[in-house]
């Protein structure tokens, strides 16, 4: 026994060495102390001596011996260094594995062993990096152990994640056989694919059951940042609770971040909370939330870019409000969503039970009720049942009920959009019904729209909408439908409520596909009624169509009528337009007339466009008199323009004579459609008439048969004003140094000013004055002044006229000349105080000399047959003298003629009368009678002459000749030679009969006046 005790170390070493050798474990150690109750080994090395699996400076065991067994009560160690590695997911300690007992199959439990470890360290090769684990502590493993567990890894890869700067410091305690851990785990950087987490710290508190089969605890997370392709998080904090076993672990999670920045959203903070479970399936049920969220500026900018959509249409205010509300909502909002995520072996599903977003602007979006939205992330399958509501903050108030049965590919929805109002516009969608099947779907609703348009307003515009889409296209209203409206006001015009039938141009009214926007609208014979102010309005067309693909529209045979009995009329044969970049187009066959204004447009052709809400037109047209008997010839306007602004028309044009293409004048028009009133200002800077050029007859047929061969300048201005059916016009015109031919003779140097009180009907104020340099109806008269008034386009009231005439004057009586009827027009001229000597001088009768003063009347009548004088008479006031001062010889007139010439070459008379009757252009009959004849100075007398002188002679002479040959006849009875030749034989024959019949001093029959 004593020997055994003395040899106990040798015996023990042999036993241990044999067991180590049996198990193939190389080891070195020294036994410092060995007793039944205490065993202490030093310099322990297990494994390959060159690279041992375990090294300890000392290990001490304390045991208790019983008759039937030995029990280790305490295990102590100093500095222990071991190494291990993970092989096929299991821990391998190298040669130490061969020292471990085989599994007993019993549930795990910690032994009743007191452990005291000063410094134990395990260098673990995980295959993805080296982890240094350290343990120090003491106490009974079954109950009461307390120590510290350390873990450090400079770089570690686990699956697809790389960890850098990993460190853990855990307090380990065991109570009643159940371990618990408490301490931080941190990593400087974690990178999983494109997701990076920096400065992660996790405070772990975990408790395990004695069997280690279940665990429970929590982990508080704190990360400086997390970056991923989806966005970036700053300062993620929160806690995760866990409770489970090897089959299933569940718990709660509550994480909150600082600032979040993603491609489509940013937020001041984000949060996730709820419960999760891992086992055969993974699941999460909870809530995600955002606070202080905002959409990116680029997206808000794109949204703001839609603010101008629909400019000039009723939807423009609604679009502006909607875009503004979306922008304000997108700048600051927050919300939460209730989610359910389930990950099965063959599929993963996500269900949104509730979504609630609220913006600082007051906008809100909510989805919930029923089963919510379910999505199969593997195949994209979708089921849906719930209600989506929107409103507040300027957004439309809408409620839509959504449903999709499991297994069905059709998503259905019904809802209502409450009236959406903005700046006088209103939109209502009723009976909203839609269905979606994969990438295809349909929407049916009825739209009612009211709102402003450029220069007006539309109220109660209603039509059904049928929208269909698929992966390739979107189509709106593929069939004809009725559109109605209750009120349309535009540019001062108001259209009464009506309904029109719209048909698609092509497969649909609107179609959007790979080739862009297409479709259009066709209308057949649209006809609308309304008013402008108090005037009735009718608008109609043969056809109209809108082509979206070409961005053009066409209206054929459009006609507008404004007013009652004499409406303002506008007709357009063809109106084409484009709305690709603004509104513009062309027109052809335009014609029209403003109410009672007797002027009408025709043959209009040109272009139009809309600029800043104004309608502008430019082109050529023809202006003509609307009266059946046209007062002027049509005028051409090669470059007229018109602007319609706020129900008011401003137009201007320069007119030319179509025959000669010479400028006539310009006109500026202003017209108020609502008030049915306006004015036109006419400016004629100067029309130059020429004998071989422009003539008044080229401008008006009223001058036919009145004047011709006009040469001179005419200028003036005019104003036409109208209100309703009342038209007024005034004007001021001048004619300067005009020469012309008239029915009563040529006129030279006519200068006059005309003040019109009714320019349209050529009616002037009374007392107009014309200065006439010369007028020659057969006898030239010069320097006359004519006073007159134009009664209308065919009648002239002559108030009187005076001309200086042969020392006296020629006076025209007042009369009215009517050129519109075939009746008689009378002019009565009075000769007052004409001096015979001046008259002969003006007539260039150089061989005659006369004295005497004449008065008389020359009534002239003009009709369809021409002009004539009826009852014209000139009478000498007192006696006078007529003498021939020319030379004549006996050879010229013969013996008797010379004797008579010498006796009668100078005559004194007491009475002289000239009577004229006949046409001016035909045979004028002139009766000349003078009596009280006696020889004048310078005559010769003889027996015969003296006998003749005692007779009471009365000369009656009738001359029948054209009026313009009358001067020669007048010269003949002033010329004694002709007088003697014609009358001397009759005088001698008469004298002989008187002597034979002893009947002295009796006037013969033949000498009596002959009518």
What pLDDT, in 10s, does the model give residues 462-485? 999 999 988 888 899 999 999 999
What pLDDT, in 10s, does the model give residues 644-698? 887 788 999 999 988 888 899 999 999 887 777 889 999 999 999 888 888 888 8
What pLDDT, in 10s, does the model give residues 706-748? 778 899 999 999 999 988 778 899 999 999 999 988 766 788 9
Whether the pLDDT of residue 30 is over 80: the answer is: yes
Whether the pLDDT of residue 499 is over 80: the answer is: yes
- Please check whether residues 747 and 826 belong to one and the same domain: no
pLDDT at 618: 94
Q: Based on the structure, what is the number of domains in the chain?
A: 2
Mean pLDDT of 575-591: 88
Among 227-236, 925-934, 984-993, the minimum mean pLDDT is found in: 984-993
- Please check whether residues 754 and 893 belong to one and the same domain: no
Pairing relationship of beta strands 584-593 and 520-524 according to DSSP bridges: unpaired
pLDDT at 976: 45
Whether the pLDDT of residue 967 is over 70: the answer is: no
pLDDT at 1000: 37
Q: What is the dihedral of CA 96, 97, 99, 101, to 10 degrees?
A: 150
Find the helix packing angle between 966-974 and 976-997, rounded to 10°. 60
pLDDT at 724: 75
Residue 368 in domain = no
Domain boundary among the residues 788, 810, 836 is at 788
Q: Measured between alpha carbons, how far is 373 from 360 in angstroms, rounded to an integer?
A: 26
pLDDT at 359: 94
pLDDT at 196: 92
**Contact 510/477 with Cβ under 8 angstroms?**
yes
pLDDT at 563: 77
- Please check whether residues 782 and 826 belong to one and the same domain: no
pLDDT at 756: 92
Q: Measured between alpha carbons, how far is 219 from 182 in angstroms, rounded to an integer?
A: 9
User: What is the domain extent for residue 603?
Assistant: 594-788
Whether the pLDDT of residue 977 is over 60: the answer is: no
Mean pLDDT of 388-392: 92
Among 618-632, 860-874, 898-912, 936-950, the minimum mean pLDDT is found in: 936-950
Percent of the chain with pLDDT over 70: 82
- Please check whether residues 859 and 772 belong to one and the same domain: no
- Please check whether residues 962 and 862 belong to one and the same domain: yes
- Mean pLDDT, all residues of the chain: 82
Whether the pLDDT of residue 1010 is over 60: the answer is: no
Strands (E) located in 759-794: 763-764, 768-775, 781-790
Residue 624 in domain = yes
Domain boundary among the residues 788, 808, 833 is at 788
Residue 387 in domain = no
What pLDDT, in 10s, does the model give residues 216-254? 999 999 999 999 888 888 999 999 999 998 888 999 999
512 or 449: which carries more pLDDT confidence?
449
Residue of 544, 553, 475, 463 lying closest to 509 (CA atoms): 475
For the residues of 172-200, what is the DSSP string, one character each?
A: EEEETTEEEEEEEEEEEEEEETTEEEEEE
- Please check whether residues 869 and 980 belong to one and the same domain: yes
Residue of 357, 379, 382, 381 lying closest to 367 (CA atoms): 357
323 or 966: which carries more pLDDT confidence?
323
What residues contact residue 31 under an 8 Å CB cut-off, 6+ apart? 9, 12, 13, 39, 40, 41
Main-chain dihedrals φ then ψ at residue 695, nearest 5 degrees: -125, 155
Whether the pLDDT of residue 780 is over 80: the answer is: no
Whether the pLDDT of residue 999 is over 60: the answer is: no
- Please check whether residues 980 and 862 belong to one and the same domain: yes
Q: Is the dihedral of CA 746, 752, 756, 760 positive or negative?
A: positive
Residue 473 in domain = no
pLDDT bracket for residue 3 (50, 70, 90): low
Mean pLDDT of 569-598: 88
pLDDT at 968: 43
- Please check whether residues 681 and 634 belong to one and the same domain: yes
Whether the pLDDT of residue 501 is over 80: the answer is: yes
CB atoms closer than 10 angstroms to residue 48: 11
pLDDT at 701: 78
Query: Under DSSP, is residue 58 helix (H, G, I), strand (E, B) or coil?
Result: strand
Residue 455 in domain = no
- Please check whether residues 832 and 700 belong to one and the same domain: no
What pLDDT, in 10s, does the model give residues 135-167? 999 998 888 899 999 999 999 888 788 999 999
- Please check whether residues 868 and 755 belong to one and the same domain: no
- Please check whether residues 842 and 951 belong to one and the same domain: yes
């Amino acid at each position: 026994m004593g020997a055994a005790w003395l040899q106990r170390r040798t015996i023990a070493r042999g036993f241990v060495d044999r067991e180590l050798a049996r198990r193939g474990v190389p080891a070195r150690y020294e036994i410092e102390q060995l007793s039944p109750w205490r065993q202490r080994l030093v310099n322990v090395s297990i494994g390959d001596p060159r690279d041992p699996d375990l090294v300890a400076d000392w290990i001490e065991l304390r045991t208790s011996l019983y008759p039937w067994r030995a029990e280790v009560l305490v295990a102590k160690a100093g500095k222990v260094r071991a190494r291990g590695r993970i092989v096929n997911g299991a821990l391998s300690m190298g040669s130490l594995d061969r020292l471990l007992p085989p599994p007993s199959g019993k549930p795990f439990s910690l032994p009743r062993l007191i452990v005291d470890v000063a410094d134990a360290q395990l260098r673990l090769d995980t295959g993805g990096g080296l982890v240094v684990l350290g343990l120090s502590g003491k106490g009974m493993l079954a109950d009461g152990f307390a120590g510290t567990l350390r873990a450090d890894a400079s770089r570690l890869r686990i699956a697809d994640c790389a960890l850098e700067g990993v460190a853990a410091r855990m307090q380990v305690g065991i109570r009643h056989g159940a371990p618990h851990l408490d301490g931080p785990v941190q990593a400087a950087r974690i990178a999983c694919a494109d997701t990076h987490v920096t400065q992660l710290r996790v405070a772990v508190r975990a408790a395990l059951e004695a069997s280690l089969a279940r665990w429970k605890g929590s982990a508080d997370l704190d990360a400086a940042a997390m970056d991923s392709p989806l966005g970036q998080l700053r300062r993620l904090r929160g806690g995760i609770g866990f409770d489970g076993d090897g089959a299933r672990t569940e718990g709660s999670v509550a994480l909150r971040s600082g600032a979040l920045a993603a491609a489509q959203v940013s937020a001041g903070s984000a949060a996730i909370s709820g419960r999760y479970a891992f086992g055969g399936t993974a699941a999460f049920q909870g809530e995600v939330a955002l606070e202080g969220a905002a959409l990116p500026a680029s997206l808000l900018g794109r949204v703001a870019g839609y603010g101008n959509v629909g400019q000039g249409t009723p939807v423009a205010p609604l679009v502006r409000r909607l875009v503004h509300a979306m922008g304000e909502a997108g700048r600051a909002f927050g919300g939460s969503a209730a989610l359910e995520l389930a990950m099965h072996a063959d599929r993963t599903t996500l269900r949104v039970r509730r979504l609630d977003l609220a913006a600082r602007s007051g906008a809100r979006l909510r989805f919930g009720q029923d089963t919510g939205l379910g999505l199969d992330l593997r195949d994209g399958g979708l089921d849906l049942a719930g209600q989506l509501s929107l409103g507040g903050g300027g957004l439309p108030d809408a409620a839509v009920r959504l449903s999709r049965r499991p297994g069905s590919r059709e998503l259905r929805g019904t809802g209502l959009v409450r009236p959406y109002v903005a700046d006088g516009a209103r939109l209502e969608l009723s009976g909203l019904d839609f269905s979606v099947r994969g990438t295809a779907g349909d929407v049916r609703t009825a739209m009612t729209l009211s709102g402003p348009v450029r220069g007006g307003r539309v109220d109660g515009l209603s039509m059904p909408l049928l929208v269909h889409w698929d992966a390739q296209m979107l189509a709106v209203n593929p069939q004809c439908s009725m559109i109605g409206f209750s009120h349309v006001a535009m540019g001062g015009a108001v259209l009464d409520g009506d309904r029109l039938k719209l048909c698609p141009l092509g497969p649909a009214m609107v179609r959007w596909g790979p080739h862009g926007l297409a479709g259009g609208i066709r209308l057949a014979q649209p006809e609308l009624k309304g008013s402008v102010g108090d005037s009735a309005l009718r608008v109609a067309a043969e056809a109209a169509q809108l082509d979206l693909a070409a961005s053009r529209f066409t209206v054929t045979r459009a006609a507008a009528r404004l007013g009652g009995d004499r409406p303002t009329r506008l007709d357009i044969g063809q109106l084409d337009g484009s709305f690709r970049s603004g509104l513009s187009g062309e027109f052809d066959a335009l014609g029209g007339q403003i109410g009672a204004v007797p002027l009408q447009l025709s043959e209009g052709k040109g272009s139009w466009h809309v600029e800043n809400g104004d309608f502008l037109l430019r082109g050529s047209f023809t202006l003509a008199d609307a009266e059946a008997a046209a007062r002027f010839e049509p005028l051409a306007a090669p470059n007229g323009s018109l602007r319609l602004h706020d129900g008011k028309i401003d137009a201007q044009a320069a007119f030319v004579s179509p025959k000669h293409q010479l400028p006539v004048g310009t006109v500026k028009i202003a017209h108020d459609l609502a008030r049915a009133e306006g004015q036109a200002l006419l400016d004629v800077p100067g029309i130059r008439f020429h004998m071989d050029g422009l003539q008044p007859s080229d401008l008006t047929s009223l001058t036919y048969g009145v004047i011709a061969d006009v040469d001179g300048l005419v200028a003036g201005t005019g104003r036409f004003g109208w209100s309703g059916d009342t038209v007024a016009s005034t004007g001021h015109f001048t004619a300067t140094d005009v020469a012309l031919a008239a029915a009563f003779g040529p006129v030279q140097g006519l200068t006059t000013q005309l003040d019109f009180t009714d320019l349209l009907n050529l009616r002037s104020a009374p007392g107009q004055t014309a200065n006439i340099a010369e007028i020659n109806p057969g006898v030239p008269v010069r320097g006359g002044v004519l006073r007159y008034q134009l009664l209308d386009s065919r009648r002239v009231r002559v108030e009187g006229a005076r001309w200086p005439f042969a020392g006296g004057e020629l006076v025209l009586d007042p009369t009215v000349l009517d050129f519109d009827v075939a009746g008689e027009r009378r002019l009565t001229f009075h000769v007052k105080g004409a001096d015979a000597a001046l008259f002969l001088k003006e007539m260039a009768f150089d061989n005659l000399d006369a004295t005497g003063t004449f008065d008389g009347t020359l009534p002239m009548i003009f009709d369809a047959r021409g002009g004539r004088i009826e009852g014209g008479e000139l009478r000498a006031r007192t006696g006078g003298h007529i003498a021939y001062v020319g030379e004549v010889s006996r050879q010229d007139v013969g013996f008797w003629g010379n004797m008579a010439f010498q006796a009668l070459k100078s005559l004194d008379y007491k009475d002289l009368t000239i009577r004229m009757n006949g046409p001016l252009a035909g045979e004028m009959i002139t009766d000349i009678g003078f009596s009280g004849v006696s020889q004048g100075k310078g005559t010769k007398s003889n027996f015969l002459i003296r006998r003749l002188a005692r007779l009471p002679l009365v000369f009656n002479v009738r001359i029948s000749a054209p009026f313009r040959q009358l001067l020669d006849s007048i010269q003949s009875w002033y010329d004694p030679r002709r007088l003697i030749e014609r009358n001397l034989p009759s005088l001698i024959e008469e004298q002989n009969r008187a002597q034979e019949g002893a009947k002295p001093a009796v006037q013969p029959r033949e000498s009596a006046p002959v009518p």
